[in-house]
């Protein structure tokens, strides 16, 4: 099938999705979201991990404002709910997703980046939520996901003042986990995704589906649910094999970063 808004390739066990509307700074229209939806599902059947990145000078300028300005309020609600659904397939789906960020990661672009599991950004990346200045509100999940990453005070500041933050600030704020030199984010994200793809599938599924849910629970409920997931994953044949591989010294130890 011919793609209009994204590129797609599978390298080893890793599906690589590229936002590919650089002339509009990868602004996300309704048709763009539908293509993304189709590719997320395709990646789930063809890969064990996924990477999302942007072609052109920026990762993503967010919502397509030219399309949005023509919508009725109710069409806007449906559009927002569709973003929630599709981004939710990434956050709580079958694959661990990694984002490679550069240039503008703004508005809906930051919401998309907040929906994946690990964010790698190069030194050109900058982050903003200009919705307040545009007379709108976040609608792609930022009030839930981005706010949980950076915290309420920082997100409120960003939205009220239009503050744009550089990559080092974004790392301090927990918006990104890895900072790399210019042009190196994609390869780093692919390498991390390829590594995650070697984990037991059941562990990856538990990590991406249980952790965010447990974050939303009380301490008592979270610990209770954790014990069942721990026990369930440990009884899988794959866990037995992997545990024995360690005990019989067939696999390496945990790396010591100070060595
Ligand atoms: C767009 C969009 C867009 C660029 N929708 N067309 N997002 C924003 O408020 C961010 C708006 N964009 C920008 O601030 C800048 O474009 C950038 C900082 C991202 C990049 O600047 P630059 O100089 O590289 O590009 P440019 O010249 O501003 O833009 C190139 C073209 O892309 C231009 O169109 P042209 O026909 O004049 O060539 C821009 O109009 C177009 N363009 N961004 C539509 N976003 C589910 S709720 C989510 C809510 C939001 O995401 S609100 C935040 C929206």
Given 9, 34, 131, 201, the catalytic residue: 131
Please state the φ and ψ torsions of residue 185, each to the nearest 5 degrees.
Answer: -65, -40
Say which residue the tokens 């301090």 belong to: 172
Kindly state the DSSP code that residue 24 receives in the 8-state scheme: G
The pLDDT tens digits of the residues spanning 7-40 come to 999 999 999 999 999 999 999 999 999 999 999 9
Tokens representing 208? 């991406």
pLDDT at 203 over 80: yes
CATH topology for the 201-247 domain? Lyase 2-enoyl-coa Hydratase; Chain  A, domain 2 (1.10.12)
Mean pLDDT of 94-119: 98
Architecture of domain 6-196: Alpha-Beta Complex (3.90)
pLDDT digits (tens, 9 = 90+) for 206-250: 999 999 999 999 999 999 999 999 999 998 889 999 999 999 999
Host H or E run for residue 14 = strand 14-19
**What is the atom index within ligand 1 of the atom nearest the CA of 65?**
5
Residue 150: predicted pLDDT: 98
Mean pLDDT of the chain: 97
Share of the chain above pLDDT 90, in %: 97
Asked if pLDDT for residue 1 goes beyond 80, the answer is: no
List the one residue out of 108, 127, 105, 5 whose CA is nearest residue 58. Answer: 105
Would you mind telling me the total number of residues written for the chain in this entry? 259
Is there a common fold for 6-196 and 201-247?
no
Q: Which of these is catalytic: 34, 35, 75, 111?
A: 111
Q: Are 132 and 177 in contact (CB under 8 A)?
A: no
How far are the Cα atoms of 32, 33, 232 from residue 62, in angstroms, in the given order? Answer: 11, 11, 40
The Cα 178–Cα 125 span in angstroms is 12
Which atom from ligand 1 is nearest to the alpha carbon of 104?
19
- Ligand 1 centroid to Cα of residue 153, in Å, is 26
- What digits encode the pLDDT tens for the residues 52-99? 999 999 999 999 999 999 999 999 999 999 999 999 999 999 999 999
**Sign of the CA dihedral running 23, 28, 32, 37:** positive
Q: How confident is the model at residue 258 (pLDDT cuts 50, 70, 90)?
A: very high
pTM of the full predicted structure? 0.97
Q: Could you state, in order of their start, the residue ranges of all structural domains in the chain?
A: 6-196, 201-247
Nearest CA to ligand 1 atom 1: 24
């Amino acid at each position: 099938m011919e793609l209009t808004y994204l590129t797609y390739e599978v390298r080893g066990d890793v599906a690589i999705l590229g936002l590919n509307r650089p002339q509009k700074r990868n602004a996300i229209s309704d048709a763009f979201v539908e293509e993304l939806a189709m590719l997320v599902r395709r990646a789930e059947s063809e890969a064990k991990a996924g990477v999302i990145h942007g072609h052109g000078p920026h990762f993503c300028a967010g919502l397509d404002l030219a399309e949005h300005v023509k919508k009725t309020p109710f069409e806007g609600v449906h559009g927002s709910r569709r973003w929630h659904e599709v981004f939710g397939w990434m956050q709580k789906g079958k694959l661990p997703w990694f984002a490679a960020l550069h240039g503008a990661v703004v508005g809906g672009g930051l919401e998309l980046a907040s929906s994946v599991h690990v964010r790698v950004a190069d030194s050109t990346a900058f982050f903003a939520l200009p919705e307040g200045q545009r007379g709108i509100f976040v609608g792609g999940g930022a009030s839930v996901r981005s706010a949980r990453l950076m915290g309420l005070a920082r997100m409120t500041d960003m939205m009220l003042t239009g503050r744009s933050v550089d990559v080092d600030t974004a790392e301090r704020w927990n918006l990104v986990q890895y900072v790399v030199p210019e042009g190196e984010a994609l390869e780093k994200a692919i390498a991390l995704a390829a590594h995650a793809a070697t984990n037991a599938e059941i562990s990856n599924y538990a990590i991406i589906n249980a952790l965010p849910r447990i974050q939303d629970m009380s301490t008592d409920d979270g610990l209770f649910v954790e014990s069942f997931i721990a026990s369930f994953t440990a009884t899988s044949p794959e866990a037995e094999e992997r545990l024995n591989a360690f005990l019989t010294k067939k696999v390496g130890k945990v790396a010591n970063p100070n060595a």
